[in-house]
Amino acid sequence: MNKYKVRFLPDEKEIEVEEGITLLEAAHNAGVYINSLCGGEGLCGECRVQVITGNAKADKNSIGFFSKEEIQNGYVLACQTKIEDNLEVIIPAKSRLEEEKIITEGAPVASPIIYSEPGTVSLNKRPYDPASLSEPLVSKIYLELSEPTSSDNASDIDRVILELRKQVRYSSFETTLSCLRDLPSILRQHEWKVTASLARHAGIGRIFDIEGGDTTEQSYGLAIDVGTTTVVVQLIHLKTGKVIGVEASHNLQARYGEDVISRMVFTCSHGSTDPLHEAVIANINALTQALTQREATDTNDIVCAVAAGNTTMSHFLLGLTPCSIRLEPYVPAATVYPQILAKEVGIDINPRGVLEVMPSVASYMGGDLVAGVLACGLAEQPETKCLIDVGTNGEIVIGNNEWIVCCSASAGPAFEGGGMKSGMRATKGAIQEIEIKDGKVNFVTIGKAKPRGICGSGIIDAIYELVRNKIIGKDGKFNTSVNDQRIVVGDSEPEYILALPEETETGQAVTIAESDIANLIKSKGAVFAAIKSLIDFVGLSFEQLDTIYVAGGFGSSLDIAKAIGIGLLPDISPQRIQFIGNSSIMGARMALLSAPAFEEAIGISKRMTNIELSTYLPFMDEFVAALFLPHTDSKLFPSVSY
């Protein structure tokens, strides 16, 4: 078979590949990442590239994504173009999957104030406060054992267990075969002074390694957030609980689809989870290697890991088939996962190190949300609180220490810039803040770069500013009576110019079209309708919510007043709305550093009652009512006035 060279610009990366593979596959193999929302099916048009040297034909089914001029200039879809020549290819700015603004930490959740007696105030200390966690999932325990005698000839492992019982609260212990094989020689070579590695699971201590001498300081763990878009890994010193370092990157699964549905479709149509599983394992191992090299630690000293992800990501991580998740009645393979050796799934830490995956609730309520509930303490206090995580799905939890209900609404890709003419993820050059004043548009971009497009928080700002300035009506339609030179007609519909061509990196205007606004209204309507359905289901009002926690990268850049102004968040005092960042990684770290916290997470997952909105009749009425700015019922938004 012939081989050809492909050079990708502006990355300046070249790779030799076999004839017949696609440009998208070649780019991936070269370490060049291109946007692909549909997993290479040729449906989204996001992987547009320009072939400047060599012959490459656009697939006939993808010609519709390009103008005649673009086709003449060599534009093709990377996923539909097979390599049959030496090529030089430019990846346009909008097609590049560049460094995203990744939230790698959660914000501390303050302990609530308790008035125990008139005139006195004390802090109600959280039982799993991240600052004071102990008893990690895996502990290294130093033991000095007595030597056997003719009157004390207990077995080697019984001698170890007897000493462990003096130092830990567990009475039941298990031992691995590999540990037993090495035990006699290690004990005698090191004069009965050893360190036992003890994994805790379901109330049992499992001895999986015994080393000579005192190695308790060389004890590390990984907290992992397996997100649909990004993967975050924290290296934790288990003895002190200190975060030694953190690394993050795009989820390499993106080449198989931007969202979980498209990745499930890819997996189920190809009959194997291997590509998706191997991609996320490659992510974790690369990030772990970067951490250990930078922090001068040995991967053999990493003895455990805790991963949190949505239900589909957890299935891919463990190599479980996710096909039934997306099909009615939406049943996952499991929601509580077994403790396994990390090497069983290919994670490169100590060969005897363990992996725990945070428990899920249902097909679309995953371990990342359970980790968030653990992190914010929602399940610990009598006050009723709400946790919202907005992405492609809007996931909502409401509850307290007596009850918890949750639901998931399909918000679509609008909050992540998907499906919009100038939409993009929160990467360099994305407009993330907008103000329109006296006909002038002021904006802030990520990285203070020239605008390339607009991300979710910027879209929310834009819609709020457009309706506040009467440029659009409360139905999201452009006001034809407004005389504004920024309103133009493109692709047979009106759109508003947010950044002029001379202001942008590409030389093309960044705009928001009427159809873009309609998409965002549907997305915000789905999220608000889910919150409203859940609060009505439990017979409460928004005013009875003590706090609303907003998690995730989207929330970190959200303007609360504007989010309320378009009807995305309930109209309560902004002081009662708190951003908590990456609550998934924070919950995973808490579980890593506290076996009781991990057991609590399992208890939380079993306590959470999932409301399936697709079969909950009031939801559709709430959704239709929310397709307005801010809402058809103005009484729900008393503070909003345009």
In terms of pLDDT, which residue wins out, 120 or 131? 131
Looking at the fold, whether 392 and 459 belong to one and the same domain comes out as: no
* Residues 133-157: tens digit of each pLDDT: 568 999 999 999 999 999 999 999 9
Looking at the fold, whether 606 and 568 belong to one and the same domain comes out as: yes
Give the contacts of 365 (CB within 8 A, at least 6 positions apart).
Answer: 311, 395, 406, 407, 408, 608, 610
Give yes or no for residue 130 having a pLDDT over 70: no
Q: Quote the pLDDT of residue 127.
A: 54
Looking at the fold, whether 483 and 528 belong to one and the same domain comes out as: no
Give yes or no for residue 115 having a pLDDT over 50: no
* Residues 437-472: tens digit of each pLDDT: 988 999 999 989 999 999 999 999 999 999 999 999
The count of residues in the chain is 642
In terms of pLDDT, which residue wins out, 414 or 583? 583
Structural domain contains residue 104: no
In terms of pLDDT, which residue wins out, 125 or 88? 88
CATH value at residue 199: 3.10.20.880
Domain that holds residue 382: 378-413+521-636
The fraction of the chain above a pLDDT of 90, given in percent, is 63
Q: For the chain, percent helix, then strand, then coil, each to nearest 5?
A: 35, 25, 40
Q: Quote the pLDDT of residue 217.
A: 93
Mean pLDDT of 148-174: 90
Mean pLDDT of 83-100: 78
Number of domains in the chain: 5
Looking at the fold, whether 160 and 196 belong to one and the same domain comes out as: yes
DSSP conformation class of 502: G
Looking at the fold, whether 263 and 402 belong to one and the same domain comes out as: no
Structural domain contains residue 83: yes
Looking at the fold, whether 389 and 288 belong to one and the same domain comes out as: no
Beta pairing partners, 408: 395
Give yes or no for residue 60 having a pLDDT over 90: no
Looking at the fold, whether 528 and 383 belong to one and the same domain comes out as: yes
Give the contacts of 290 (CB within 8 A, at least 6 positions apart).
Answer: 247
* Residues 19-59: tens digit of each pLDDT: 888 888 888 788 787 877 666 777 777 788 888 888 877 67
Of 514, 476, 503, 517, give the one whose Cα is nearest residue 628.
476
Give yes or no for residue 11 having a pLDDT over 60: yes
Structural domain contains residue 127: no
Give yes or no for residue 587 having a pLDDT over 80: yes
The fraction of the chain above a pLDDT of 70, given in percent, is 93
CATH value at residue 600: 3.30.420.40
Mean pLDDT of 243-249: 94
Parallel, antiparallel or unpaired: strands 204-212 and 220-226: unpaired
In terms of pLDDT, which residue wins out, 13 or 99? 13
Rounded Cα gap, residues 233 and 34, in angstroms: 23
Q: Quote the pLDDT of residue 36.
A: 73
- Where residue 82 falls among pLDDT bands split at 50, 70, 90? confident
CATH value at residue 350: 3.30.420.480
Looking at the fold, whether 146 and 157 belong to one and the same domain comes out as: yes
- Where residue 119 falls among pLDDT bands split at 50, 70, 90? very low
Looking at the fold, whether 394 and 460 belong to one and the same domain comes out as: no
Phi, psi dihedral angles at 357 (to 5 degrees) = -115, 130
CATH value at residue 42: 3.10.20.30
Parallel, antiparallel or unpaired: strands 243-250 and 340-341: unpaired
Looking at the fold, whether 569 and 492 belong to one and the same domain comes out as: no
Structural domain contains residue 138: yes
Structural domain contains residue 263: yes
Q: Quote the pLDDT of residue 193.
A: 96
Structural domain contains residue 121: no
Q: Quote the pLDDT of residue 112.
A: 41
Q: Quote the pLDDT of residue 37.
A: 64
Of 310, 255, 261, give the one whose Cα is nearest residue 283.
255
Last residue of a domain, one of 462, 493, 514: 514
Give yes or no for residue 95 having a pLDDT over 90: no
Structural domain contains residue 622: yes
Give yes or no for residue 109 having a pLDDT over 90: no
Q: Quote the pLDDT of residue 100.
A: 61
Looking at the fold, whether 506 and 589 belong to one and the same domain comes out as: no
